[in-house]
């Protein structure tokens, strides 16, 4: 065993030369003390000689100085003394080429020492830098061991030396580029700490590590260093980030850190932004379709009704999550910010990260950067077309685009124009055209930041298209009610009805005469009365509310058609021999409204100021379509013009949405629910 001092000549060692010179003195003092001890064992009278020659005071001083150094805190500084076995790296590699692997294996063993010191890491990295051109593919295992050195959380000198080694390695041996990138990306999540109790290794979380933000910062610094020397880094980085994305059963903290770091990569690798957004949103969609709106509402209702402390112990009895404990569960749940549904809790965390990223990417010092916002909009609309639009019954992920469009009216109008092009294009699949129409109606109804002029402009596009469609079908052989043949038309009708339910007051608010004239110019009566019979296909809640609104303003009388449709919707027999009957399908379009109320708590703070909630109608009531409709006289019909309320026997006080208790859409197929325990953020 021999003490070895660091080599001179490196920039790091030059900055701390005085400190390392003291290390040499301490080492020499230690050797002299050891020599004195050996003389005493041999029986030599060294004490008298030392006192006469003046050696004993010097040894005492060095011993005291050495003890003081050991008492100092060296967490953030390199170790003053390093101990190692075997020769240097160059000689070890040379022996390996000649077939002698003893020192080679010893070198790998020393590099994997869990108690390796900062000074040792610096010495090893300096030697590897000097022979980096010799680290060919034959030394792949050795390089992997070096890359796994614990450089995060170490002193600044270790970090600088490690980054310098990375830059030299990827410059001289590009074959290790993927290995270096994998090493960095593997640190995008909080580390795991193994605690050994007896003979059992217990995996514990290191989430509360104070160095976590610094570690993430160093990881991004490492990626930038690699990208500076290898221009094609981004092409190799994206598949690695996709492969290392944590499984959805991981804790909210793990998912949050990884998604945050992926989005952070797009700051210095902007070419990857669209791919990163696609990756993050695809994982979020899996969570979104697994946590259905009805399931979230049910669990939140049960959680609100549950008394404090009751049942919480049973839910956390078997804590299967490896990242978090029941202590934080109780404290954060008491604050009312934790979702009762475990999948919704994870989705809430990721939505908060994504919405924060959108805001930070578009605003600089509180001012909207239009060019950056447009670039982000193009990337998000591309991901929307590829992933979000074809996904049925997603409840929250689409609000990322909703939030972005609120920054500027031009973005909202561009989004509506894009949806309109998809909806009216015969080249698009019918299912996508119907989905686009649903997004148009829900966006027009729920976006509080949209002015009435934009709503009217969209109606001026949708309603004439419906009239042209009717003109093309009235004289043909397919002029009958059939969802398979006329699906986009029926969805567009429902979009117009749904928009008018929410926006009819705003349309007539400024001038009732002009507003009524505009509504009458839409010629809704022709649409309702046509042979395609859209009222038979639209959701009953939308149909009933639309009938109430149009009756109030004497635009069209729908109840006669509704009654006739109800009489024709007879139960169907399952087989020709008889048997049980199948209930009528109340949602033949399998439609949903993408911007139904936002249910996630923490990320909902971004959406709440922008969202138009449903207001109970105070001046119109929805009549039950199955009751006989009493014809009103002309005098009674004019009551609404004087602000009086038309009385009705039954009042429906529900939001006209697609998730009423009796109007559930079929759940998405192919996305099995994720069952794991609720964990707090």
* Tokens encoding 307: 């008394």
What mean pLDDT do residues 77-86 have?
49
Q: What is the mean pLDDT of the chain?
A: 77
Q: What is the pLDDT of residue 354?
A: 97
Q: What is the pLDDT of residue 626?
A: 43
Asked which of 5-19, 74-88, 282-296, 360-374 is least confident by mean pLDDT, the reply is 5-19
Q: What is the DSSP string of 60-82?
A: HHHHHHHHHHHHS--TTS--S--
SS3 420: helix
Asked which of 325-334, 386-395, 595-604 is least confident by mean pLDDT, the reply is 325-334
Give residue 305's pLDDT band: very low, low, confident or very high (50, 70, 90): confident
Give residue 153's pLDDT band: very low, low, confident or very high (50, 70, 90): confident
CB 59 within 8 A of CB 32: yes
**Residue 343 neighbours by CB under 8 Å, 6+ apart:** 248, 287, 290, 291, 673, 674
Residue 647 pLDDT greater than 90, yes or no: no
Q: What is the pLDDT of residue 482?
A: 78
Residue 148 pLDDT greater than 70, yes or no: yes
Q: What is the pLDDT of residue 85?
A: 57
- How many percent of the chain have pLDDT more than 90? 56
What mean pLDDT do residues 384-408 have?
95
Outline where 363-482 has alpha helix (H). 370-383, 399-405, 409-424, 430-446, 452-474
Q: What is the pLDDT of residue 203?
A: 54
**Choice between 283 and 34, residue whose per-residue pLDDT is larger:** 283
Asked which of 56-70, 87-101, 110-124, 501-515 is least confident by mean pLDDT, the reply is 56-70
Q: What is the pLDDT of residue 180?
A: 96
What mean pLDDT do residues 187-205 have?
65
Asked which of 60-69, 338-347, 449-458 is least confident by mean pLDDT, the reply is 60-69
Give residue 585's pLDDT band: very low, low, confident or very high (50, 70, 90): low
Give residue 424's pLDDT band: very low, low, confident or very high (50, 70, 90): very high
Residue 213, Cα to own-chain centre: how many angstroms? 19
Asked which of 19-33, 78-92, 221-235 is least confident by mean pLDDT, the reply is 19-33
Q: What is the pLDDT of residue 598?
A: 95
Report for 51-55, 354-358, 556-560, 567-571: range of highest mean pLDDT: 354-358
Give residue 174's pLDDT band: very low, low, confident or very high (50, 70, 90): very high
**Residue 174 neighbours by CB under 8 Å, 6+ apart:** 230
Nearest to 241 by CA among 186, 294, 194: 186
Nearest to 272 by CA among 243, 244, 238, 239: 238
CB 212 within 8 A of CB 190: yes
Q: Residues 447, 451, 454, 457: what is their CA dihedral angle, to the nearest 10 degrees?
A: 120
SS3 342: helix
Nearest to 323 by CA among 192, 205, 196, 194: 205
What mean pLDDT do residues 387-412 have?
95
Residue 664 pLDDT greater than 50, yes or no: no
Nearest to 316 by CA among 673, 680, 595: 680
Q: What is the pLDDT of residue 653?
A: 36
Q: What is the pLDDT of residue 472?
A: 86
Residue 30 pLDDT greater than 60, yes or no: no
Q: What is the pLDDT of residue 509?
A: 86
Q: What is the DSSP string of 236-295?
A: HHHHHHHHTPPPTTS-HHHHHHHHHHHHHHHHH-GGGHHHHHHHHHHHHHHHHHHS-HHH
In angstroms, rounded to a whole number, what is the distance separating the alpha carbons of residues 150 and 155?
11
Q: What is the pLDDT of residue 577?
A: 53
Distances (CA, A) of 17 to 58, 79, 238: 23, 14, 42
Residue 629 pLDDT greater than 70, yes or no: no
Burial 75-113 (b: 16+ CB within 10 A, else e): eebbbbbbebebebbeebbebbeeeeeebbeebbebbee
Between strands 581-582 and 572-573, the pairing is antiparallel
Q: What is the pLDDT of residue 566?
A: 86
**Choice between 146 and 314, residue whose per-residue pLDDT is larger:** 146
Q: Residues 61, 65, 68, 72: what is their CA dihedral angle, to the nearest 10 degrees?
A: 170
pTM: 0.75
Give residue 627's pLDDT band: very low, low, confident or very high (50, 70, 90): very low
Residue 596 pLDDT greater than 90, yes or no: yes
Give residue 298's pLDDT band: very low, low, confident or very high (50, 70, 90): very high
Outline where 136-211 has alpha helix (H). 140-147, 156-172, 177-185
- Cα angle 449, 455, 458 (rounded to 5 degrees) comes to 130
CB 25 within 8 A of CB 173: no
* Tokens encoding 527: 């649409």
What mean pLDDT do residues 207-211 have?
63
What mean pLDDT do residues 501-525 have?
92
Q: Where are the beta strands (DSSP E) in 8-144?
A: 83-84
Report for 91-100, 310-319, 600-609, 641-650: range of highest mean pLDDT: 600-609
- In degrees rounded to 5, what are phi and psi of residue 2? -140, 140
Residue 516 pLDDT greater than 60, yes or no: yes
Q: What is the pLDDT of residue 588?
A: 76
Distances (CA, A) of 610 to 404, 439, 447, 596: 11, 16, 6, 13
Q: What is the pLDDT of residue 617?
A: 67
Residue 636 pLDDT greater than 50, yes or no: no
């Amino acid at each position: 065993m021999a003490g070895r001092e660091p080599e001179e000549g490196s920039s790091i060692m030059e900055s701390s030369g005085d400190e390392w010179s003291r290390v040499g003195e301490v080492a020499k003092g230690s050797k002299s003390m050891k020599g004195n001890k050996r003389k005493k064992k041999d029986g030599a009278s060294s004490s008298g000689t030392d006192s006469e020659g003046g050696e004993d005071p010097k040894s005492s001083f060095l011993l005291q100085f050495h003890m003081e150094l050991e008492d100092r805190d060296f967490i953030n500084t390199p170790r003053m003394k390093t101990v190692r076995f075997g020769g240097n790296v160059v000689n070890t590699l040379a022996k390996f080429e000649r077939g002698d692997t003893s020192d080679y294996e010893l070198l790998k063993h020393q590099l994997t020492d869990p108690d390796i010191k900062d000074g040792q890491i610096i010495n090893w990295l300096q030697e590897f830098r000097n022979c980096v051109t010799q680290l060919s593919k034959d030394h792949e295992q050795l390089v992997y061991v070096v890359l796994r050195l614990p450089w995060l959380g170490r002193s600044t000198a270790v970090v600088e030396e490690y980054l310098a080694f990375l830059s030299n390695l990827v410059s001289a041996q590009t074959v290790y580029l993927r290995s270096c990138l994998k090493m960095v990306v593997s640190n995008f999540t909080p580390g795991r700490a193994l605690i050994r109790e007896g003979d059992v290794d217990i995996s514990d979380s290191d989430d509360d590590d104070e160095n976590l933000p610094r570690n993430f910062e160093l990881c991004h610094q490492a990626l930038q260093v690699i990208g500076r020397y290898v221009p094609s880094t981004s092409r190799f980085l994206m598949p690695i980030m996709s492969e290392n994305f944590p499984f959805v059963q991981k804790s909210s903290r793990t998912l949050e850190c990884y998604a945050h770091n992926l989005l952070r990569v797009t700051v210095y690798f902007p070419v990857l932004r669209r791919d990163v957004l696609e990756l993050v949103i695809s994982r979020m969609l899996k969570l979104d379709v697994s946590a259905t709106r009805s399931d979230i509402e049910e669990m939140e209702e049960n959680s609100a009704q549950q008394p404090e402390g009751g049942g919480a112990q049973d839910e956390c009895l078997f804590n299967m999550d490896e990242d978090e404990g029941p202590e934080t569960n109780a404290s954060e749940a008491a604050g009312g910010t934790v979702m009762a549904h475990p999948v919704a809790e994870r989705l809430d965390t990721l939505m908060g990260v994504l919405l924060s990223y959108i805001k930070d990417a578009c605003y600089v010092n509180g001012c909207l950067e239009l060019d950056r916002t447009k670039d982000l909009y193009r990337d998000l609309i591309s991901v929307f077309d590829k992933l979000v639009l074809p996904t049925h019954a997603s409840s929250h992920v689409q609000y990322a685009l909703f939030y972005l469009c609120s920054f500027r009216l031009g973005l909202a109008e561009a989004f509506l124009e894009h949806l309109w092009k998809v909806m009216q294009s015969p080249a698009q699949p019918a299912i996508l055209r119907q989905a686009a129409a649903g997004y148009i109606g829900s966006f027009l109804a729920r976006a509080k930041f949209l002015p009435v002029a934009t709503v009217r402009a969209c109606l001026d596009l949708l309603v004439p298209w419906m009239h042209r469609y009717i003109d093309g079908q009235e004289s043909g052989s397919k002029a009958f009610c059939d969802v398979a043949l006329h699906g986009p038309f029926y969805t567009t009708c429902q979009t117009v009805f749904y928009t008018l339910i929410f926006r009819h007051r705003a349309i007539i608010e400024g001038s009732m005469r002009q507003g009524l004239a505009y509504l009458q110019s839409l010629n809704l009566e022709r649409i309702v009365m046509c042979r395609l019979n859209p009222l038979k296909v639209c959701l009953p809640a939308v149909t009933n509310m639309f009938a109430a609104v149009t009756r109030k303003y004497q635009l069209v009388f729908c109840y006669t058609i509704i009654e006739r449709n109800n009489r024709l919707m007879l139960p169907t027999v399952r087989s020709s021999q008889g048997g049980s009957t199948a209930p009528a399908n109340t949602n033949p379009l399998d439609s949903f409204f993408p911007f139904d109320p936002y249910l996630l708590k923490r990320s909902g703070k971004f959406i709440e100021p922008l969202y138009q909630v449903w207001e109970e109608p105070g001046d119109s009531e929805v009549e039950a379509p199955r009751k006989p409709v009493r014809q009103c006289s002309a005098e009674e019909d004019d009551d609404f013009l004087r602000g009086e309320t038309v009385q009705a026997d039954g009042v429906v006080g529900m939001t006209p949405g697609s998730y009423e208790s009796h109007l559930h859409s079929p759940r998405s197929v192919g996305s099995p629910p994720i069952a794991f325990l609720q964990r707090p953020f």
